[in-house]
Amino acid sequence: MNASLAAFLYLVSGVLFILALRGLSSPETARQGNRYGVIGMGIAIVTTLAYQLPAGFFALILVILGIAAGGAIGVWRARTIQMTAMPQLVALFHALVGLAAVFVAASALNAPQAFGLGTPGAMHAGSLFEMALGAAIGAITFTGSIIAFMKLDGRMSGKPILLPSRHAINIGLGVLLAILAVAFMASESHFVFWLIVLVSFALGLLLIIPIGGADMPVVISMLNSYSGWAAAAIGFTLGNLALIITGALVGSSGAILSYVMCKGMNRSFISVILGGFGGETAAPPPSGEAEARPVKQGSPEEAAKILKKAKKVIIVPGYGLAVAQAQHAVREIADVLKKDGVDVKYAIHPVAGRMPGHMNVLLAEANVPYDEVFELKEINPEFAEADVALVIGANDVTNPAAKTDPTSPIYGMPILDVENAKTVLFVKRGMGSGYAGVENELFFRNNTLMLFGDAKKVADSVLRSLE
Ligand code: NAP
């Protein structure tokens, strides 16, 4: 295959990737978007293989073996992963992209002739710069993503680790990286290259450890963006158009998603990119005294009676719904209520669950019609007209401390105003706090009824009582 045909096919796959991103922006078009993405990636892989064929049969076999091994692991993980563990998996994927960028830069430095970058000791300064940039962003992404993985997977505390003068340290490391990059371009020294990688590993770690659990969704999309830029920088080193386009798309869409989420959670975008945002307000320890306060506890039968009398019900799903896999039972409750003429809607908070879009995916899986699912801004004014807010396995996203308590780790995050409904039914196993580790004042309100138990079991019992 000649270079022009390869460039054209890479462009076609780039266009398909853009269509994929566009499709993924709405649940209705997401499947079609995914198809475009798969076709685009298929074209890019076949083009790369065909273009690299002259590199020799052995190289081709190695690539095919790599794809087969990686693909097999990918299929196995995709089939076995729990929906609730998806964010950790995504964090690990980002770590791999980052590490791949470091390895590609290292290979290019060791054998520049194989990449068409000149001979050892006589490489172009531009290529050396791209290598340094790709390796640095890749290494930052790698350690940052590993920390994000460990925090999300509970292998490390979700609490922010705040080192003294951490901003000064980060700026210092950033300046050191710039100096090392210049030294690398001047010397082509392997030692300096690996110093760049080491300093970047440290910077990735330091950028993510001060970030608290409540801000993790933004971190994931930010690391997604970093991994894209690392790939794009490496695309320049390899002169691979597909990698440049794809990396830039991932980098910019990740940055836009981070920006949208920062706006949604009332965080500063700039401090997100620089690390350590939201860390100043550490989670207060849950107060034992408050938990001893009385709450109104109800039974599924009582809940069914309240629901039967209602004219308008808004269902608020959260992480607990995902854990219990209660989405089907909840949709069946909605079906019964709708048959009785009740107006039923679903309210989705942008960071409900453990990844952006988590609740949308679950509800779609349970065949909840898209036109019954509403975003925070659309649905919030409607709680005041609702007879019942049925909150299933959600906690932080309903916590009014986000509006009233400036010391709370979730302060500033927009929340679903469930408290404005006439009755709030909370389905959860006990008085446990949510992801951010803060208590929810709503549990103790007069218009709240707590339904303790596993979300699926409680929903099944409510359904039986309704029927
Ligand atoms: P949440 O605040 O974490 O609360 C979930 C609640 O579900 C818990 O209080 C828990 O209480 C209950 N629960 C757990 N298992 C259950 C089960 N089997 N049956 C019934 N209830 C169960 O969840 P959320 O309201 O969805 O808020 C999401 C939080 O995660 C936010 O703080 C957000 O910032 C953070 N986060 C979001 C993302 C994202 O991208 N969406 C990523 C990372 C972090 P009990 O223990 O008492 O049952």
My answer on whether 177 and 98 are in the same domain is: yes
Question: Distance, CA 452 to ligand 1 centroid (Å)?
Answer: 15
Reported as type and span, the H/E element at residue 118 is none
Residue 349, classified by CB atoms within 10 Å of its CB into exposed (0-12), middle (13-18) or buried (19+), is buried
Report how many domains make up the chain. 2
- Nearest C-alpha neighbor of 455 from the set 398, 394, 396, 399: 394
Assign residue 275 a region (left: φ > 0; alpha: ψ between -120 and 50; beta: otherwise): left
- 62 inside domain: no
Domain end call among 273, 290, 315: 273
Q: For the ranges 56-60, 171-175, 316-320, which has the lowest average pLDDT?
A: 56-60
My answer on whether 247 and 332 are in the same domain is: no
My answer on whether 123 and 259 are in the same domain is: yes
My answer on whether 380 and 331 are in the same domain is: yes
Most informative mutation of 321, 349, 435 for ligand 1 (most atoms within 8 A of CB): 435
pLDDT tens digits, residue range 112-143? 988 888 889 889 899 999 999 999 999 999 99
pLDDT higher than threshold 70 for residue 201:
yes
- Nearest C-alpha neighbor of 166 from the set 79, 276, 264, 307: 276
| CA–CA separation, 293 and 445 (whole Å) | 11
Q: Which residue is associated with the tokens 């609702």?
A: 386
- 42 inside domain: no
- 369 inside domain: yes
Please tell me the residue having the least CA distance from ligand 1 atom 38.
354
Instruction: Report, as residue numbers or ranges, the catalytic residues.
Output: 396
pLDDT higher than threshold 50 for residue 286:
no
My answer on whether 262 and 319 are in the same domain is: no
Name the average pLDDT for the chain. Answer: 89
Question: Distance, CA 378 to ligand 1 centroid (Å)?
Answer: 22
Let me know: does 200 contact 178? Beta carbons within 8 Å. no
Phi, psi of 297 (to 5 degrees): -110, 135
- The CATH number of whichever domain residue 364 belongs to comes to 3.40.50.1220
Confidence of residue 276 (pLDDT cuts 50, 70, 90): low
* Span 43-62, average pLDDT: 85
Q: Which domain holds residue 207?
A: 81-273
pLDDT higher than threshold 90 for residue 357:
no
pLDDT tens digits, residue range 409-458? 888 889 999 999 999 999 999 999 988 888 999 999 999 999 999 999 99
Question: Distance, CA 81 to ligand 1 centroid (Å)?
Answer: 18
Q: Residues lining ligand 1, judged by CB closer than 6 Å?
A: 87, 214, 216-217, 318-320, 323-324, 351-356, 358, 393-397, 427-430, 432-436, 454-455
| CA–CA separation, 452 and 432 (whole Å) | 11
What pLDDT is recorded for position 274? 66
Please give the number of the atom of ligand 1 that sits closest to the Cα of 261: 40
- Nearest C-alpha neighbor of 222 from the set 261, 248, 249: 261
| CA–CA separation, 7 and 37 (whole Å) | 18
Question: Distance, CA 44 to ligand 1 centroid (Å)?
Answer: 39
pLDDT higher than threshold 50 for residue 373:
yes
Strand-by-strand arrangement of the 388-392 sheet:
373-375, 343-348, 312-317, 388-392, 423-428, 448-452
Residue 197, classified by CB atoms within 10 Å of its CB into exposed (0-12), middle (13-18) or buried (19+), is buried
Domain end call among 273, 307, 332: 273
- Nearest C-alpha neighbor of 314 from the set 428, 450, 393, 418: 418
Most informative mutation of 265, 351, 433 for ligand 1 (most atoms within 8 A of CB): 351
pLDDT higher than threshold 60 for residue 289:
no
My answer on whether 229 and 321 are in the same domain is: no
pLDDT higher than threshold 60 for residue 85:
yes
My answer on whether 207 and 334 are in the same domain is: no
Provide the percentage of residues in the chain whose pLDDT is more than 90: 60
- Residue 375, amino acid: E
Phi, psi of 312 (to 5 degrees): -135, 130
| CA–CA separation, 368 and 363 (whole Å) | 5
* DSSP three-state, residue 370: helix
DSSP state of 119: -
